[in-house]
Structure 1
Amino acid sequence: MWKAFVSILMAWSLANLSLLPAFVEAETGGAARQAAQQEHPQTDEPITVTVVGDILLDKSVGKQIERHGVDYPFAKTAELLKQADLTVGNLETAVSKRGSPEHKEFTFRARPETLAGLANAGFDVVNLANNHTMDYGMDAFLETMRHLRENDIAYVGGGKTEEEAFAPYIRTIKGKKVAIIGLSRVLPNQKWFAGKNKAGLAHAYSGEPMLSYVRKAVEESDITIAIMHWNLEYKDYPEPYAREMARLLIDNGVDAIVGSHSHSLMGVEWYKEVPIFYSVGNFVFTTPRNPKGSESLIVTLTFAQNKTDGKIIPAKIVNGQPVPLTGEDAKKLRGKVEKLSYRAGIDEEGTVTRK
């Protein structure tokens, strides 16, 4: 029954996406963007944003934390993450001591104290719009947001209302407003969708209300980055809807897109000088059932002089801990991502170039 529901919902949402008016691009990319630039004059100083994939602090990772402390998952990457002006990840778990597991194959719930490791590693904001944040029900979800606030970690993609769930996290960096938005096209059912007066997650199953909130975020900022939870597990290439949606977001002013959920690496695409990282894989995760789940990318986006650059650092997850790769191992993983990419190359430094 659920598969039938998903098929109907995806077909309906794609139809709605294709009917969106063509003037949206000009409306957002024109006057609104110019107004934002006038309010916050551009500087030559580059802004760096580092983004990683799925972070799980439960199961075997939770046991490692119990043995070695909250900083264990990030021991090999924390110094790297702290170098960015802003660091973002996808938090793939509820964080609470409350609630009962949902009726689904995998449910995750981490202990509140584990969030200190995220904070210590330099994470500024996490995405909650994914298929595990509400694994233990509404009370645990509300507690997850409270525990994040208590650890001074911002969050996007979830909230007590639709407006809060779709709202961007905005920080002024070097004179520019940088916005992070979180969206999911992978949710168990509509009960997880945020509503006007209902707590939940920001979904991307239809053009609206998503695009209205995206345009608002673009209008309020100078740089907008979308963190997407989408595509199918362990696949090498994005679904057709993901490529269509990425273009739609960019047409509406988004400056970079970074995806996760597939537990595998996918390629990079450039569209209108904007990079799309379809999947950066897991980051902190349990031992996967598929070797693809151990492959990870750390992506650093650099924004300067109206130009966006991207760089990847390949990593391998060992005992729940991401370890940056070097030498031939790094070269091999860079080559894999390049082969999976669309009109994009990756040099020996990991810099993503346009082809």
Structure 2
Amino acid sequence: MYPPRSKRSVQKKKEKRIRKRRIWIINLVLIAAIGLVGIYYAVGMQEQQTDPADQETVMSQEPVNEDDSKGGDQLHSPDPNSEPDHTSDEDSSGSNEQPTGNSDDESDVNTPDATGSETTGKTDSGTKKPVENATSSSTKENDGAEAGATKPSKPSDSAKGVTINFVGDIQFSGKVAELLDKKGYEYPFEKLGSLFKDDDLTIGNLETPVTFGGTDAADKTYVYKSSPKALAAMASAGFDAVNLANNHILDQGVEGLVDTLAYLKEYGIAHTGAGMNQDEAYAPAYLERKGMKIALLGFSRVVPKASWKANGNRAGVAEAYDSTGAVKAIQDARQKADLVIVVAHWGEERVSTPNNDQTRLAHEFVDAGADLVVGGHPHVLQGVEYYKGKWIAYSTGNFIFSKSTTEETWKTAVFQANCSKDAKCSMKVIPYEAGLGQAVPMLDEANKLLLEQMTQLSPGIRFDANGVASPS
């Protein structure tokens, strides 16, 4: 017997509500399950993305360096305050004779101080901080533990290699000093932008003692003395190291050399090629960049007097009239460094072609283990050579200097190398004009003409429109 219709209707509605409730419960359970799975997946992905090792690698990557060679007016006529370049009685035949007491050959070398060569660290902002001697037992590795150490190197850093900028002769004396007293000691570097701050290493040839004291060297046509303000400005501009052994570093005697070494240390600029004894003069400065240990050495084949040579316990410069000491120093550095750089002071003033002694010494240096050889002293640009897979730049010309009436001395360049840890380097030339006390970028047609001139000066080498050198 069936229940009345009204009762069946109520019962069906009740069963329908129960089914709906069950469906809602099932749906809620499914939604909750899906939500839990989604949350679990999201948390897992977040943990994976924030893995400390991966995050550290990403944060360690530095922007690729770009050349800042824009802006600035070019100088097209001699400055009314110009003065001739300092001259020398250098043996233009390039003979191997030792300098006599009357010779006034030119030389340029970088020196470690009495406590040993120092490294300097270039921070993200480009400001230098003195860091621990790279030759010590606590040489920086990639842990960045030492105060002032460079940023820890990661695989991506090493893959990019180190970018090194080289410039020519620098002095802040005479007409240059008069100009800088009016315009400030930052004036020489105002047209450079951040070029030397964005690179890994900037190296120049400091062709002057930096001192308030000393005694002028006798029997020299030009005797230089520069203010310590110049080194503060160089450090701020991005310079990391200088080459000291030249015919001017002892213009104020040993007292001037001692002061120069002290001021370089104070401003965190490494140095090589001159010192308080023979061992210091020939010792390299070791610098650490992106996990690469770099040895910088300086030698000169232009020394005004025999007494200027570092010998035994006598202060002076590392000379290369006899290349034995230089070759041994390079060979020793080769055993300790990933990259070996030699800065040489040699050649004949205002001559655009390297002489036989320059070529011979350059090849000897490479054969001994040098990966880059960069020269100066002629006050004009000379060409480059690609010898046994290594680049040789024979003369970088003037950079911050007085301005002579010889137009070729107005042309200069930043020589830029990028080197991998296996010591393979590229070479690039960035044209500049050496104005009175200031380096000014060459633009447009002047830039093009200088690169064409560099191709003509470099047999077997061509420079493209960006200044990149390659064997032709």
TM-score bin (small chain): 0.7 to 0.9
Number of the residue aligned with 1:236: 352
Q: Where does residue 340 of structure 1 map in the other structure?
A: 457
Unaligned runs of 5+ in 1: 14-38
- How many positions carry a matched residue from both structures? 329
1:68 to 183, 189, 206: 183
Q: CA RMSD, aligned part only?
A: 2.2
1:115 is matched with 231
Which one is further off, 322-331 or 96-105? Answer: 96-105
CA distance in 2, matches of 1:195, 1:227: 20
Give, in whole Å, the separation in 1 of the partners of 2:435 and 2:163. Answer: 27
Structure 1 residue 319: Cα displacement: 2.6
Offset, 1:163: 1.0
SS in 2 for 1:259: strand
For each residue in 1:118-173, what CA deviation from the matched residue of structure 2 results, as whole angstroms up to 9, or x when unmatched?
A: 11111011000111110111111111111111111111111111111111111121
Q: Which residue of 1 aligns with 2:199?
A: 84
Q: Which letter does structure 1 place at the counterpart of 2:295?
A: A
Seen in structure 2, the aligned counterparts of structure 1 residues 235 and 125 have a Cα distance that, compared at 3 Å, is same
Alpha-carbon distance in 2 for matches of 1:167, 1:67 = 38
- Summarize the alignment of residues 4-23 of structure 1 with structure 2, pairs less than 5 Å apart: 10-11=96-97
Which residue does 1:18 correspond to in 2? none
Partner of 2:299: 183
1:101 matched residue in structure 2: 216
Contact 1:270 1:342 in 2 (8 A): no
SS in 1 for 2:329: helix
Asked if 1 retains the 8 angstrom alpha-carbon contact of 2:94 and 2:357, the reply is: no
Q: 2:444 aligns with which of 327, 330, 337?
A: 327
| Whole-Å separation in 1 of the counterparts to 2:94 and 2:382 | 26
SS of structure 2 residue aligned to 1:245? helix
Distance 1:342 1:9, change over 3 A: closer
Cα distance, 1:208 vs structure 2: 1.8
Deviation of the 1:183 alpha carbon: 0.9
Does the 8 Å CA contact 2:295/2:340 hold for their aligned counterparts? yes
Q: Is the 8 A contact 2:94 2:355 kept in 1?
A: no
Residue number among 414, 426, 431 corresponding to 1:314 in the alignment: 431
Q: Partner of 1:146: helix, strand, or coil?
A: helix
CA distance in structure 2 between the partners assigned to 1:110 and 1:3 by the alignment: 24
Letter in 1 for 2:201: L
Matched-pair identity in %: 35
Kept after mapping to 2: 8 A contact 1:61/1:73: no
User: Partner residue of 1:226?
Assistant: 342
Superposed displacement of residue 6, structure 1? 9.5
Q: TM-score, normalised by structure 2?
A: 0.67
**Aligned pairs (5 A) from 1:200-279:** 200-279=316-395
Contact preservation (8 Å) 1:9, 1:205: no
Query: AA paired with 2:210?
Result: V
TM-score (norm 1): 0.88
Specify the alignment match of 1:53 in structure 2.
168
User: Which residue pairs with 1:32 in the alignment?
Assistant: none
Whether the aligned pair in 1 keeps the contact of 2:273 and 2:317 (CA below 8 Å) is yes
CA deviations on 1:95-139 (whole Å, 9 max, x unpaired) are 111122212111111112221111111101100011111011111
Match of 1:148 in 2: 264
**How far apart are residue 3 of structure 1 and its match?**
6.6
Runs of 4+ in structure 1 off by over 4 angstroms are 2-9, 39-42
Deviation at 1:4?
Answer: 10
User: What is the DSSP-based 3-state SS (H/G/I as helix, E as strand, rest coil) of the residue aligned with 1:44?
Assistant: helix
State the distance in 2 between where 1:235 and 1:5 align. 13
1:305/1:209 Cα in 2 relative to 1: closer, same or farther (>3 Å)? closer
Q: Note the C-alpha offset of 1:83.
A: 1.8
- Find 1:285's aligned residue among 392, 396, 401: 401
Contact 2:400–2:436 at 8 Å: present in 1 too?
Answer: no
Question: Aligned pair in 2 of structure 1 residues 262, 152: CA closer, same or farther (>3 Å)?
Answer: same
- Equivalent position amino acid for 1:262 in 2: P
Match of 2:135 in 1: none
The C-alpha deviation readout for 1:14-68, integer Å capped at 9, x for no partner, is xxxxxxxxxxxxxxxxxxxxxxxxx999942311111000001111111121111
* Structure 1 residues 174 and 350: CA distance shift in structure 2, 3 A: same
What 5-or-longer segments of structure 2 have no aligned partner?
1-87, 100-140, 143-153
Cα distance change, pair 305–213 in 1 and its aligned pair in 2 (3 A): closer
Q: Are the equivalent residues in 2 in contact too, given 1:78–1:122 (CA < 8 A)?
A: no
Q: Specify the structure having the higher radius of gyration (Cα).
A: 2
| Aligned-partner Cα distance in 2 for 1:349–1:337 | 13
Q: Deviations 1:171-223 (Å, cap 9, x if unpaired)?
A: 12111111111111111011111112111111111122221111111111010
Match of 1:171 in 2: 287
